[in-house]
Structure formats: structure tokens, C-alpha cells
Structure 1
Amino acid sequence: MKILNIPELKFLKVALEKNPKANFNFEYLEKSNAIATLILNYNATKTLLVNQYRPGAKKNIFEIPAGLIDAGEEPIDTLFREVREETGYEKKDFEIIYASKDGFYVSPGYTTEKIFIYIIKLKSDDIIPKELKLDDGEDLYPQWFNLDEVSKVSNDMKTIFALNIYKNLP
């Protein structure tokens, strides 16, 4: 495997790997793993989506809160950090009702990234979230939606995937 050093890229590393059965190189991205969380209100009738600009979509989209796992950080710790940063809710405010064990490959044909999906439920609808703690460059806005509205306002894969996991929980 050869990783190309491109200083302008902060989150992605372009990599080449020789195909073991043919005479060509695979091109792919070495990328940090991530978490994403479907946040439900106490009655599990609504979810909190964040609206932010996404360069791949070339527009603002609604999606579930998500974030990259820092080096040496466990996915569960990233969950607590990202939920606090992007929504204002703290770990004492919710219970985890689903956690993926090994993560899901985002697109194994071009990236090493896996995403760990969590589904959490607030312990009360009366909880007032703290002020957001956004990273530099983040500009997002949380908004509650009825669960049946999500597929109408978002075409983000991780959002729809997490919603379908929730709908199929026992």
C-alpha cells in the first residue's frame, strides 16, 4: 500500500494498493471511522436532525448528528462528544437503545471508513439542551422532525439507514 502525501487534504489520505490478482492498482481513501446517531424524543415520535452544508451534495441537507472518531478514541466516547457538540444534549440526558458493534463500511470500494450507528432516546422531553460546541468550520442547525417526515426531508444514506434500523428493532 502506498499512501500519497497531499498536504491540502486534512481528513482524507489517497492510497494505492496493488490488486493481488491483476496488474493494476486500487485507488481508495484512508479515512477515519465515524459515528452517527438517531436521536429520539422521549415518546419516540420525533428525531433531531441537523442542517448543514455538504460539499458532496453541493447544498445544505438534513441528517442525523455524526462525526469522526479521533485517534485513540472509542466510538462510544465519540458519540457522547458529538451529541454534546452538535445538539447540546449530554450523556446524562439520554439512554442508548441501539449500538452497532463493529461499524458498517460506508463504501468499501473506495474508502476504509466504517460508521458506527447509535440510536438514543431522551429521558425526558423537558430537557433543555446546552449551547452547541461546534468545531471550526461547522455551521449547523438542529431541528426536530416527526419520524414519518424524515424520508421527505433527507436523502442522506446514514440517516435513512439508522431510521430503518430503528423501525426494525424488536
Structure 2
Amino acid sequence: MIRLEEKTIKSETIFEGRVVRLQIDQVELPNGETSTREIVKHPGAVSVMAVTNENKLVLVRQFRKPLEKTILEIPAGKLESGEDPIDCAFRELEEETGYRAAEMQHVYSFYTSPGFADEYLHLYLAKGLTKGKNQPDQDEFVELVELTLEECLDKIAEGDICDAKTVAAVLLWQNRTLRGRSG
């Protein structure tokens, strides 16, 4: 078996913000040479796939500064220190959309960009939705949008749904629909 691991020789934090920390690591490569790795440290996040009784996916339209454009996404948010992901899922769904869920079912968790970041994202399926009033964070401006599966697939093709978590959720919803499972 080929040795693939890299040994960290030195690690330096060069930026620490509200959401991420950036560190530069000097590593020893498997062949003995050295290299530099730029790593984004992230506390983790949740995303919520919520399908209404009318069989529409609950999304938010939001401007994303790194992309310099507005996109459609499933509700999501960063984990607070020590927060249980399921609690975060309930909180984010209600804050961003106003919907409350009677139940959250963990679907899967995955790394979003393992080439440079350690963000681990938990996807939940919200069940038993009831509509309330959304209360986004003070610096968060979102518009609630509800789309059918076909409309979501069209929005992916048009580039309006273009983030990995939402594309994955829509494809999972499509797969579940084809297999005759709800949500």
C-alpha cells in the first residue's frame, strides 16, 4: 500500500474571523519533500431539505458575496460552538423560512471542499412542517421561495441553484420521488 499521508511540520493561523480561520501548514510529503497547504478551518454547518404538503421544496433566495450573485439554496447555517447539529437544523429552518418541523431526520453528512477546507455539513430532512414567521439574522437578507421538483431541476439547469448542498438535496428528492418515498 502506498503511503499517502502528509506530516505537519508547522502550522500558523494567519486569520481568525467570525466564520472561518485560515491557517498555513508546512507539510512533509510522502516522498520526503516539503510543501505548503492553505487550510480553511470551519466549525461545521447544517442544511435542511424541507418539502411542504404541496410537494414543494422550501428554498431561500440569497445574495452570495463570494459569487457576486443571488442564488437559490436550501436553508442552512453554521453550527455554534458545542451546538448539536439537529438543534441547529431546527433553528436555521425556522429563522430563514418561518417553517417549523415536527421532526428532523438525518440524511447524511459530508465534507464540502476537502481540498482546502474542513467544513463538515449535515443534511437533514424536515418532516411535519407548519408555517410561521421567518426571523433571519440581522445581517441576513433572504426571500422565501417554494418550488416543485421539476422547477428545481430547471433552476439547476439555469444555474440559479448552483451550490453543492442544494443540488445534492434536489437530486436526493428526485431519487426518493422516483422510488416512491416521500421527501
Q: What is the TM-score of this pair, normalised by structure 2?
A: 0.79
Aligned equivalent of 2:4:
none
CA distance in 2, matches of 1:17, 1:57: 27
Answer yes or no: is the 8 Å Cα contact 1:119–1:162 preserved in 2. Answer: no
User: Which residue identity is paired with 1:47?
Assistant: L
For residues 121-147 of structure 1, what are the alpha-carbon distances to aligned partners after superposition, in whole Å with 9 as ceiling and x for unaligned? 345xxx4x2221211210001111111
Q: 1:83 aligns with which of 62, 75, 93?
A: 93
User: Which residue identity is paired with 2:11?
Assistant: K
Q: Quick check: which has more Rg, 1 or 2?
A: 2
Answer yes or no: is the 8 Å Cα contact 1:11–1:31 preserved in 2. Answer: yes
Aligned equivalent of 1:158:
165
Q: 1:137 aligns with which of 125, 136, 139?
A: 139
Comparing both chains, which one has the higher relative contact order based on Cα–Cα distances under 8 Å and sequence gaps of 6 or more? 1
Structure 2 residue 84 is matched with structure 1 residue 74:
yes
Aligned equivalent of 1:34:
45
CA distance in 1, matches of 2:59, 2:67: 17
Q: What is the TM-score of this pair, normalised by structure 1?
A: 0.84
- The answer for unaligned runs of 5 or more in structure 1 is none
Aligned equivalent of 2:104:
96
Superposition RMSD on alpha carbons, in Å?
1.9
CA distance in 2, matches of 1:164, 1:108: 21
Structure 2 residue 26 is matched with structure 1 residue 18:
yes
Runs ≥4 in structure 1, deviation > 6 angstroms? none
Identity %: 28
Aligned equivalent of 2:174:
167
